[in-house]
Amino acid sequence: MAPDLSRSAVIRLLSLTEKEDQEALMKKAYAIKEKELGRNVFLRGLIELSNVCRKNCLYCGIRCGNEKVVRYSLSDEEVLKTIEIARQNRLTSLVIQAGEQTNEAFINRMTQLITRIKKVTQDDFRITLSLGEQTADTYRRWFEAGAQRYLLRIETSSEELYRKIHPADGLHDFNTRLNCLERIREIGYQTGTGVMIGLPFQTIENLADDLLFIKHQDIDMVGMGPYIEHTETPLFNDAATLMPLMDRFELSLRMIAVLRLLMPVINIASTTALQAIVPAGRELGLMAGANVLMPNLTPVHYQRNYRLYEHKPCLDKRAGEILDELSDKIKAIGESIVYDDYGDSAHYLMRINQPTSTPKNDYQRKSMSCSGDDRRR
């Protein structure tokens, strides 16, 4: 059972500053991960499909208002070639991430692309989408085409803070985002979300509420990391008010650790933003309780144009080189990459196995029949 930490207890743990106290927190979180999930790391090959975005979020480097970005979109053939590289390296899961587009041409293209991926991989693959806010019908179409996971970061659970980091232009609405997250879960996706850590105007109380929100929403997978400013964004004007990068880094590790205490069997990603601050940042995230890494498999010549924040690492490395280096780093900290395994969220499998009057679709029925050692290996 997950500990029933109070809000005040979460705030206290996030506020730790003494080295010994922080190390004790990390050790506790890692012990829970090891007990519940083993020393196992699941890989999700990341494909940055496109940096075309209709939104103008004040913190994001690919916002539509940034005229210095060279826009691009991978072709379907480039995506399928990248998936083949992933499969050659025994990966069975990928994340397709892009700027938000809601036009019918993009929705149809994604539906057809998901169908092609499932055909090429003979349905032997997990697809995570991170494509922003869509209608319930669109989420359902992509789910029925074969996508199984969806990541929609709320960025913050505070409506007041949300309004400070998004323009008041009619396209950015806090309740719309929350409603989208609910629709994703209702449709049957393994549901993911996340927040930025160390934003301007953000308090420890905000972050504690973020973690409690994630638990209350019964989320299956989480990706959260330090906020790193981008010079071509309006929020960069508030850079002088930010806590130092290393403080944001350490706070991010505490966030991972406390979330592992709150939700012992969810999937937690150790994000690339950690590595952007500390070269071994992702490995330290694993030692704080994370169990998922998302190596970037996007073709090298596109990666520089998908820059959400400054100092993005590994911009000149090809997929094979990245995966080889990652394997060595993970072995060095006593963890093991689990190959040939979907790495489904144990929390999700427990959730859909709970008694319910709602009929389950084919994907959920298959997932229910594949748990523990029976999961695809």
Q: What is the pLDDT of residues 8-49, one digit of tens each?
A: 999 999 999 999 999 999 999 999 999 999 999 999 999 999
pLDDT at residue 358 above 60? Answer: no
pLDDT at residue 363, rounded to an integer: 52
φ/ψ bin of 72: left (φ > 0), alpha (ψ from -120 to 50), beta (otherwise): beta
pLDDT at residue 171 above 80? Answer: yes
Mean pLDDT check: name the lowest of 222-226, 315-319, 330-334, 368-372.
368-372
Domain ranges for the chain, please list them.
Answer: 40-207+216-239+290-367
pLDDT at residue 321, rounded to an integer: 81
- pLDDT tens digits for 104-163? 999 999 999 999 999 999 878 999 999 999 999 999 999 999 999 999 999 999 999 999
Q: How far apart are CA 185 and CA 89, in angstroms?
A: 30
With a CB cutoff of 8 Å and minimum separation 6, the contacts of 150 are: 128, 129, 130, 139, 142, 143, 184, 189, 190, 191, 192
In this structure, the chain runs to a length of: 377
What's the longest Cα–Cα distance across the chain? 54
5-12, long-range: CB within 8 Å, 24+ apart, which pairs? 5/258, 5/261, 5/262, 7/208, 7/209, 7/212, 10/208, 10/211, 10/212, 10/258, 10/262, 11/204, 11/205, 11/208
- Comparing C-alpha atoms, which of 43, 34, 33, 81 is closest to residue 327? 43
pLDDT at residue 51, rounded to an integer: 97
Q: Is the pLDDT higher at 307 or at 227?
A: 227
- Comparing C-alpha atoms, which of 20, 29, 62, 19 is closest to residue 260? 29
Task: Tell me which amino acid residue 335 is.
Answer: E
- DSSP reduced 3-state for 67: coil
Q: How far apart are CA 338 and CA 324, in angstroms?
A: 14
Q: Taking the CB of residue 127, how many other CB atoms lie within 10 A of it?
A: 22
- Comparing C-alpha atoms, which of 22, 10, 7, 82 is closest to residue 288? 22
Structure token pair of residue 84: 């083949």
Q: Is the pLDDT higher at 162 or at 315?
A: 162
Superfamily of domain 40-207+216-239+290-367: Aldolase class I (3.20.20.70)
Q: How far apart are CA 36 and CA 250, in angstroms?
A: 24
CA distances from 146 to 89, 186, 194, 279 (A): 22, 16, 23, 35
